Amino acid sequence: MIVGAILAGGYGKRLKPITDEIPKVLVEIKQNFTIMDRQILDFKYMGIKDIYILSGHLGDKIEERYGERHMGMDFHYLRESKPMGTLYSIRNLLEQLDDQDVILRNGDTITDINFKHFKDFSANSEFGMVMLVTRMKSPYGIVETNGDMVVSFTEKPVLDHYINSGLYYIKNSMKETFFEEYNGKDVEITAFPEISKKRLLGAYKEDALWIGVDSEKELEQARKEYVGREDTEYGYKKDIYGNEKIHIKEYLVKDGYEAFLDGGCGHIIRFLSGNGLLEGTKRDAYSPGSVFKIESDMTVRPNMTTRLEVISD
């Protein structure tokens, strides 16, 4: 059995004054849809039945919003009266569990990874803990030089380095490691290095959207991503453009899932990435650049995570 947990005790100082009255996890990324709402959806689609909220500052606001049961899941609250550090928070969580594994995540992150793959990879791996790592994007433009001459300039490229993305699968077998004697309050400098030293820390990599909402700049990025967007079990659908003559909707369909598309006279489907099968009155294989006219209901069944556009008039 697997439970979900969210680290939600931060003050959100870089998002003030928004976080003067609400915790960072309850900041909206679209109308009446918070960062935590998105994370709860991820757990629901993974089949998680119990979610533990590790809160502190303004934790009562979280309890008021979700209560003891929400979207068919049971919520359990572990609220600190003062900040004790992430190591304490995780110890407090693990003391509540019996033999369950836990998927733990920082409360300020949004990602479109395939959680089914993440869960299966982690549970079936030889590692006691698996961490989602994501490619680091440079916060600055990169300048290439030849002697004293600038030869090229790249604006904020993705670097060949990985960062901890704040999403973890922790097996029950790792529990004792978190209760060893450490000099520090945060797991990043205490338990995590110890698990790595034991060669029991794995890395899960996937090229997918990841946003750490730590400032107004990242919040703006998240809100821009969510304009016209609706999250679904298979990925998302998003209104891209529309006027009196034409409407464009984008879909992300993860492999291992399928998406149903309503047919309509004059509808065109264009595949941007991925490959798989498009099934309706007949079956067609698709790949990036494939274009089909759809006049009946159709189903997209990816072999590889797929992005597509449906263009209708």
Could you read off the pLDDT of 271-310 as tens digits, one per residue?
A: 999 999 999 888 999 999 999 988 788 999 999 999 999 9
- Residue 125: what pLDDT? 97
Tell me the mean pLDDT in the region 108-130.
97
Nearest to 256 by CA among 132, 125, 117, 119: 117
* Topology of the domain covering 232-312: Jelly Rolls (2.60.120)
Question: Which residues have a Cβ under 8 Å from the Cβ of 18 and sit 6 or more positions away?
Answer: 12, 27, 219
- Residues 6 or more apart whose Cβ sits within 8 Å of residue 96: 52, 76, 78
pLDDT in tens, 6-28: 999 887 788 989 899 999 999 99
CA–CA separation, 93 and 102 (whole Å): 9
pLDDT at position 242: 87
Helices (H) and strands (E) in the chain, counts: 6, 22
- Position 250 scores a pLDDT of 96
Contact (Cβ atoms closer than 8 angstroms) between residue 167 and residue 106: yes
Average confidence (pLDDT) over 218-233: 96
Tell me how far apart the alpha carbons of residues 208 and 81 are, in angstroms, rounded to a whole number: 36
pLDDT at 264: 66
The pLDDT score that the predictor gives to residue 102 is 98
The larger pLDDT score, comparing residue 84 to residue 219, is at 219
pLDDT of residue 156: 74
Q: Report the candidate in 104, 82, 102, 78 with the shortest Cα–Cα distance to residue 92.
A: 78
Q: Is the pLDDT of residue 151 over 90?
A: no
Q: Which CATH class is domain 2-227?
A: alpha beta
What mean pLDDT comes out for the span 238-256?
Answer: 93
What pLDDT was estimated at residue 1? 87
What pLDDT was estimated at residue 239?
95
For the chain, the average pLDDT equals 93
Q: What value does the mean pLDDT take over residues 134-155?
A: 82
Q: What length does the chain have?
A: 313
Interacting residues of 255 by C-beta distance below 8 A, sequence separation 6+: 114, 274, 276, 302, 303, 304, 305, 306
CA 83 from centre of chain: 25
All residues at 6 or more sequence positions from 31 whose CB lies less than 8 Å from its CB, including other chains: none
DSSP bridge partners of 134: 163
* pLDDT value of residue 184: 92
The pLDDT value given to residue 148: 80
What pLDDT shows up at residue 141? Answer: 82
The pLDDT value given to residue 159: 72
Confidence of residue 265 (pLDDT cuts 50, 70, 90): low
Average pLDDT over residues 231-256: 94
**Model's pTM, two decimal places?**
0.91
Higher pLDDT, 1 or 69: 69
**Domain ranges across the chain:** 2-227, 232-312
